[in-house]
Amino acid sequence: MARSDWIAAGFELIAAEGAASLTIDRLAARVQRTKGAFYHHFGGLPGYKAALLEAFEAEYTERFIDAVEAEPGLAPREQLERLLSLVLEGEPRAALTTQLRAWALRDPDVLRSQERVDRRRLDYLSGVCREATGDASAADDLARLLYAILVGAWHVVPPLDAAQLRRLYTRALDLVVARPDHGGGG
């Protein structure tokens, strides 16, 4: 069994029950392996937590950015729309993201990881928005607005679904970023 199976099981447990559910016994039962196999891969819960947070950053931040960057020639608005599509496709991430943020309130290691993830995401959004607006200050504000919409959408009870979130993003982008096919802009 690969490390990635243990990580996926941790993401599932966190999303369903929160970080307190991450015990070696629960993880081993979920992947149907022994606790010894867990220790072989991670050395213990601190090693597992570090691997889990690293995997979250790679899977839910860097993979999305890399995918957008791999599509040359996209206008800034198209980059932002593609990024949103990547975030919204696949399994719902609202529960996992919300639970990780809650965990960050109680654990300094998780908080540092979440701060790094947020900074990376905001820096990337700011760069794309800077291309769209030509104004660094406006770009930073727009990046914060777009990110706040995403994070907030997943904290509202019940969380906004993908269609609702896409509509909000489209409205926000329409206010400040020209559509490549329509010209004009904000």
**pLDDT tens column, 113-126:** 999 999 999 999 99
Q: What is the CATH number of the domain that holds 166?
A: 1.10.357
Is the preceding omega at residue 158 within 30 degrees of 0, hence cis? yes
Whole domain around residue 138: which residue ranges? 52-176
Quick check: is 136 in a domain?
yes
Looking at residue 185, what is its pLDDT? Answer: 46
Quick check: is 183 in a domain?
no
Quick check: is 158 in a domain?
yes
Q: Can you say how many angstroms the Cα of residue 164 is from the centroid of all Cα atoms in its chain?
A: 18
Looking at residue 91, what is its pLDDT? Answer: 63
pTM, entire model: 0.90
Closest-CA residue to 124 (of 113, 135, 140, 138): 140
Query: Which residues, other chains included, contact 110 with Cβ-Cβ below 8 Å and sequence gap of 6+?
Result: 19, 49, 53, 100, 103, 104
- Cβ pair 122, 132 in contact under 8 A: no
- Cβ pair 113, 104 in contact under 8 A: yes
Q: Is 90 left (phi over 0), alpha (psi -120 to 50) or beta?
A: left
Bridge-partner residues for 114, per DSSP? none
Quick check: is 85 in a domain?
yes
The continuous run of DSSP H or E covering 183 comes out as: none
Looking at residue 184, what is its pLDDT? Answer: 46
Looking at residue 186, what is its pLDDT? Answer: 45
Spans in the chain with pLDDT lower than 70: 90-92, 178-186
Quick check: is 169 in a domain?
yes
Each residue's pLDDT tens digit, 147-167: 999 999 988 888 888 899 999
Structure tokens at 53: 């947070």
Number of domains in the chain: 1
Looking at residue 124, what is its pLDDT? Answer: 97
Query: Which residues, other chains included, contact 164 with Cβ-Cβ below 8 Å and sequence gap of 6+?
Result: 153
HEC letters along 59-92: HHHHHHHHHHHCCCCCCHHHHHHHHHHHHHCCCC
